[in-house]
C-alpha cells in the first residue's frame, strides 16, 4: 500500500473522458455546486446502497443530517464521479481513539449520523461511510480510500484512521464464531469475507470486533474496526512542512472537479 501511495503522489493526474474523478466536498462547494444538489446525490446513493443492507431508518441519512455533515466536515468528505455522475461517497470525522474503539454502535459513534461530535483537534479519524453504487467500476472504492488516506491522513499529519468494515458474508458462515470467521482464510490465503479482504489488501489491520455495530443481517450485526497507521506520523511531528507537502501533492494528483451531465 505504501508503494501505491508513493506512486500516486508522484504522478501528475490528467482527467480524461470516462475517467474516475474524485472531488473533495469543500472544493465542490467553493466551485459553486449547490449544497441542495449535492445532498440529493448523497441521498440517492445512500438509498440505493444502504437501503438494500438495512431496514433500520437510523442508518439512512436524511437531508438535514447530510447537510449537517457538510457543515461539520466538508474538508474530509469525498465524492467519486464517473462520466459526470456521482457514483460514490466517503465521509470521515475526527474522534478520539478510545471512543472509536469502544464497543458502541455506528449510530452512537457518529452522534446519530450527524457528526456533531467531530473534533478537529483529534489525531485519529473515523471513516463514517464508504458508499458506492453497484454500477460503478471496481476502482472507485479503492480510489476514494487512497485519496482520503493521502490527502486527509498523511496530509493532515494524523496518527491513524479507523474504518468500521461490514462482514457481509458472515451469515453464510454462521457456524463459525466471529473470531474464527475474520481470522479464517481461503485456500488462496485471502480472508473469507470480501469486504474485509478489500481493507486488508489496502494496508488496513483488524483492530477490534464490535458486536451490534449496526442493524445488518448479512453481517449478523457485527462490525470490524480496521486501522491504517500513518507511516510518516513521527516524521511529520519532527518536520511539519512534510505533511503540507504531501497534502499539496495529493491535492494536485488525486483531486479534480467533475463535468456534470
Residue 136, domain CATH: 3.40.630.30
Q: Are strands 223-229 and 160-165 parallel, antiparallel or unpaired?
A: antiparallel
Residue 246: inside a domain, yes or no? yes
Residue 197: inside a domain, yes or no? no
- Domain containing 48: what range? 2-159+230-254
The whole-angstrom separation of Cα 132 and Cα 194 is 15
Q: What is the mean pLDDT of the chain?
A: 93
Q: pLDDT by residue (tens digit) across 36-86?
A: 999 999 999 999 999 999 989 989 999 999 999 999 999 999 999 999 999
Q: Are 53 and 139 in contact (CB under 8 A)?
A: no
Residue 84: inside a domain, yes or no? yes
Does 14 score more than 50 pLDDT?
Answer: no
Residue 97: inside a domain, yes or no? yes
Q: Are 167 and 226 in contact (CB under 8 A)?
A: no
Q: pLDDT by residue (tens digit) across 168-221?
A: 999 999 999 999 999 999 999 999 999 999 999 999 999 999 999 999 999 999
Residue 109: inside a domain, yes or no? yes
Residue 167: inside a domain, yes or no? no
- Output 169 or 4, whichever has higher pLDDT: 169
For cell 508522484, name the residue: 10
Task: Classify residue 106 as exposed, middle or buried by CB count within 10 Å of its CB (0-12, 13-18, 19+).
Answer: buried
In 66-201, the DSSP E strands lie at 77-82, 85-94, 124-132, 160-165
| Cα 108 to chain centroid, rounded | 18
pLDDT of 261: 67
When divided into structural domains, the chain yields a total of: 1
The whole-angstrom separation of Cα 114 and Cα 131 is 16
Q: Are 82 and 18 in contact (CB under 8 A)?
A: yes
Residue 174: inside a domain, yes or no? no
In the structure grid, which three cell numbers stand for residue 33, read together?
455546486
pLDDT of 19: 85
Dihedral sign for Cα 74, 80, 85, 86, please: negative
Amino acid at each position: 500500500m505504501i508503494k501505491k501511495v508513493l506512486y500516486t503522489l508522484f504522478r501528475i493526474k490528467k482527467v480524461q473522458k470516462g475517467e474516475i474523478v474524485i472531488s473533495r466536498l469543500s472544493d465542490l462547494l467553493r466551485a459553486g455546486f449547490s449544497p441542495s444538489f449535492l445532498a440529493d446525490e448523497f441521498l440517492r446513493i445512500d438509498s440505493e446502497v444502504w437501503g438494500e443492507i438495512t431496514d433500520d431508518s437510523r442508518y439512512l441519512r436524511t437531508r438535514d443530517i447530510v447537510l449537517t455533515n457538510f457543515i461539520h466536515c466538508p474538508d474530509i468528505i469525498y465524492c467519486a464521479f464517473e462520466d459526470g455522475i456521482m457514483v460514490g461517497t466517503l465521509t470521515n470525522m475526527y474522534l478520539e481513539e478510545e471512543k472509536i474503539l469502544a464497543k458502541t454502535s455506528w449510530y452512537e459513534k457518529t452522534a446519530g449520523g450527524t457528526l456533531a461530535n467531530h473534533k478537529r483537534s483529534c489525531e485519529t479519524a473515523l471513516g463514517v461511510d464508504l458508499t458506492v453504487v453497484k454500477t460503478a467500476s471496481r476502482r472507485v472504492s479503492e480510489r476514494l480510500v487512497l485519496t482520503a488516506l493521502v490527502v486527509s491522513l498523511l496530509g493532515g499529519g494524523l496518527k491513524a484512521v479507523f474504518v468500521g468494515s461490514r462482514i457481509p458474508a458472515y451469515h453464510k458462515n454462521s457456524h463459525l464464531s466471529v473470531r474464527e470467521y475474520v481470522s479464517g482464510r481461503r485456500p488462496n490465503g485471502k480472508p473469507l469475507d470480501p469486504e474485509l479482504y478489500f481493507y486488508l489488501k489496502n494496508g488496513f489491520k483488524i483492530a477490534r470486533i464490535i458486536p451490534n455495530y449496526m442493524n445488518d443481517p448479512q453481517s449478523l450485526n457485527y462490525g470490524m474496526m480496521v486501522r491504517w497507521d500513518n507511516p510518516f506520523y513521527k516524521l511529520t511531528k519532527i518536520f511539519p512542512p512534510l505533511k503540507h507537502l504531501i497534502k499539496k501533492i495529493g491535492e494536485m494528483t488525486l483531486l479534480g472537479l467533475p463535468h456534470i451531465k
